[in-house]
């Protein structure tokens, strides 16, 4: 996957990290001079996001990031409509210190804004709506394949419990089987 550069503005007046969930967003904000991040919770609606951006003083100078995930891509497009530059961060490379295994949404948001301010995370390209549309049939096909395999395993195990073992061929689930 190619490296993706940041979308943040050159003159940042406020760093913002969003921990997105289905019904809520935990937003951590950090001024450019550093300090302790402030955390607030907002809803995942367009109106709530617009109000939050207005409360922060508008989109100019905001450096916003969120982790890649299913809940973040639609909200990424909402922020683009509001002309808020937003970076998508790959969740896996975010380091976790030994002894810092306790996870809470507030801690995640604070850690994310500190890492973003420090320039440590790696960015990913968000999918286009067309690409996301292609993912759905692929995921559906994979779900069906897994369900078929699970059903075959259930049948084979039930037959085995009743002493019925297929021995005629090398491969199960062929026409001969």
* Spatial contact of 1 and 49, defined as CB atoms under 8 Å apart: no
- pLDDT value of residue 158: 92
- pLDDT value of residue 2: 47
Element (H, E) at 40: strand 38-43
- Which CATH superfamily does the domain covering 14-118 fall into? ATPase, nucleotide binding domain (3.30.420.40)
Q: Tokens at residue 54, please?
A: 């207005």
- State the DSSP string of 7-35: ---SS-SEEEEEEE-SSEEEEEEE-TT--
Q: How do residues 105-125 score in pLDDT, each as one tens digit?
A: 778 888 888 888 777 777 777
- pLDDT value of residue 61: 84
- pLDDT value of residue 150: 95
Q: pLDDT at residue 14 above 60?
A: yes
Q: Residue 1: pLDDT band by 50, 70, 90 thresholds? A: very low
Q: Residue 95: pLDDT band by 50, 70, 90 thresholds? A: low
Count Cβ atoms below 10 Å from residue 3 Cβ, excluding itself.
8
Q: Which of 83-87, 89-93, 101-105 has the highest mean pLDDT?
A: 83-87
User: Which of 36-40, 64-68, 108-112, 173-177 is predicted with the least confidence, judged by mean pLDDT?
Assistant: 173-177
* pLDDT > 70: percent of the chain: 86
* Spatial contact of 71 and 22, defined as CB atoms under 8 Å apart: yes
- State the DSSP string of 57-93: T-STTEEEEEE-STTHHHHHHHHHHTT--EEEE-STT
Pick 149 or 124 by higher pLDDT: 149
- pLDDT value of residue 94: 58
Q: pLDDT at residue 19 above 90?
A: no
């Amino acid at each position: 996957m190619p490296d993706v550069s940041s979308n943040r503005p050159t003159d940042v007046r406020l760093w913002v990290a969003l921990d997105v969930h289905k019904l809520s967003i935990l937003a951590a904000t950090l001024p450019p001079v550093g300090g302790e991040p402030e955390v607030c919770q907002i809803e995942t609606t367009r109106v709530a996001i617009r109000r939050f951006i207005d409360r922060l003083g508008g989109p100019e100078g905001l450096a916003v990031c969120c982790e890649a995930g299913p809940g973040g891509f639609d909200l990424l497009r909402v922020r683009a409509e509001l002309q808020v530059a937003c970076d998508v961060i790959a969740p896996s490379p975010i380091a976790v210190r030994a002894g810092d295994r306790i996870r809470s949404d507030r801690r995640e948001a604070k850690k994310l804004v500190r890492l973003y301010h420090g320039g440590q995370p790696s960015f990913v390209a968000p999918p286009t709506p067309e690409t996301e549309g292609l993912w759905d049939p692929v995921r559906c096909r994979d779900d069906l394949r897994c369900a078929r395999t699970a059903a075959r395993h259930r049948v084979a195990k039930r037959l085995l419990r009743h002493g019925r073992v297929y021995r005629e061929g090398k491969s199960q689930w062929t026409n001969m089987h």
